[in-house]
Structure 1
Amino acid sequence: MRRSATSLAALAAAVLLLAGCGSKSDTGAQGGKGGKGTDTGSAGKVSPSAPASGGCASAVDLKATDAGRTVCVAKGGEVRLTLEGTKSRPWKPVQASGTALKAINTGLVIRPGQATATYHAVAAGTEKLTSSRPMCAQPTKPGEVSCMGLQEWAVTVTVK
């Protein structure tokens, strides 16, 4: 009987350990903080701030977990983003395609691997913000193995 109780306790500890490993992956997100804006994608992480004209938010805060989302910001509003990376898995500077947003301070880096940007919504339209980073840590010594995969990040911003 003692052996099965010990085995059961060891099994339970292993399950908890594995569950904890899966929840602490390096996704680049800041745990638990939701952004501001309106979300037309999946539920949860982006919540509305005070709606401005046309039901769009006056300010939108984006994180790595917002990848694939579409958000709406009012003309005259702001879009801020912070992608938390690491020195070995850094985010590339954020690129914007379109004319709806004007960069206020793109490229300001507080910590190695981080990508931050702030935009002012200047015209009605749609703009895509993109970045990427390596899926695997970059080798630090000759002969170390690395992968060539990239983690892509993109958010579509609609300005009304």
Structure 2
Amino acid sequence: MRRTTLHRTTVTTLAAATLLLMGCGAQHGGSGGDGSGSPSSSPSATTPSSALPSTPSSASEPGTPSGTPPASPACTSHMELTAADNGRAVCLTRGGQIRLTLDGTRERPWSPVTASGDALKAANPGIAVLPGDAVAAYDAVTGGDAKLTSSRPMCPQHGSPGQMSCKSIEEWTVAVTVR
């Protein structure tokens, strides 16, 4: 009978890889995903709860017959988004406005927010931006779909030799439907 054992180098490699991955996602000063040091578990107070759709999933949800698509999100005329809204699908009424603030740092800056499609038109967000943050506003000008996107490095970008660095990117995306 052959006996299977893990070699010390295999265990060490797995432990190092796990620690590296955990370190890249960690933020200095707190556990919030938006870089502020505090978790943001709820959307902005100005967003009505009826406008908060659940993230679509391939599995049917409890109480929903199998194969039934999830209900489309209720539309609202004004919405404010943060980094915590990553992956959401939202609905905005024509003539409405969507504003967003992604809190970053000098070491982990957000790239400028871009919008795909013709449904949204860039508007003046009207506030000063701190280094690393991305702030944007869009007017809903016509019915259709748009996608808002931004990204930032997962790990601080250090120029000093011997400091940990990684090339991972955190992506932020929100799908917007204008009706």
TM-score greater than 0.5 by the shorter chain: yes
TM-score, normalization: structure 2? 0.64
Q: Point out 4+ residue stretches in structure 1 off by more than 4 angstroms.
A: 106-109
| Preserved contact between residue 135 and residue 150 of structure 1 (Cα < 8 Å) | yes
Name the structure 2 match of 1:99.
Answer: 118
- 1:128-147 mapped onto 2 (5 Å cutoff): 128-147=147-166
Listed as ranges, the matches of 1:42-57 within 5 Å are 42=55, 55-57=74-76
Give the partner amino acid of 2:114.
Q
1:136 and 1:108, CA in 2 relative to 1: closer, same or farther beyond 3 A?
farther
Name the aligned partner's letter for residue 73 of structure 1. L
1:50-73 Cα shifts (integer Å, max 9, x gaps): xxxx95101010000000000001
Alpha-carbon distance between aligned partners in 2 of 1:104 and 1:29, rounded to the nearest angstrom: 25
Structure 1 gaps of 5+ residues are: 1-20, 43-53
The verdict on how the C-alpha distance between 1:96 and 1:56 changes in structure 2, with shifts beyond 3 A counting, is: same
Q: CA separation in 2, counterparts of 1:86 and 1:151? A: 13
SS of 2:112 mapped into structure 1: coil
More strand by proportion, 1 or 2?
A: 1
Q: 1:40 to 1:124 in 2, by over 3 A?
A: same
How many residue pairs are counted as aligned between the two chains? Answer: 128
Residue in structure 2 matched with residue 154 of structure 1 by the alignment? 173
Between Structure 1 and Structure 2, which shows a larger proportion of helix residues?
Answer: 1
Cα distance change of structure 1 residues 146 and 29 upon mapping to structure 2, 3 Å threshold: closer
1:81 aligns with 2:100: yes
Deviations 1:15-71, CA, capped at 9 Å, x for gaps: xxxxxx9x93241166466231622224xxxxxxxxxxx951010100000000000
Amino-acid identity (%): 47
Gaps in structure 2 of 5+ consecutive residues: 1-26, 56-72
* TM-score (structure 1 length as normaliser): 0.71
TM-align CA RMSD: 2.6
- Give per-residue Cα distances to partners, 1:65-88, cap 9 Å, x unaligned: 000000001000000000001110
| Aligned counterpart, 1:111 | 130
- What is aligned with 2:59? none
Classify the secondary structure of the residue corresponding to 1:126. Answer: strand
Q: Which amino acid aligns with 2:31?
A: S
Partner of 2:66: none
Residues 98 and 138 of structure 2 are in contact (CA less than 8 Å); yes or no, is this contact kept in structure 1? yes
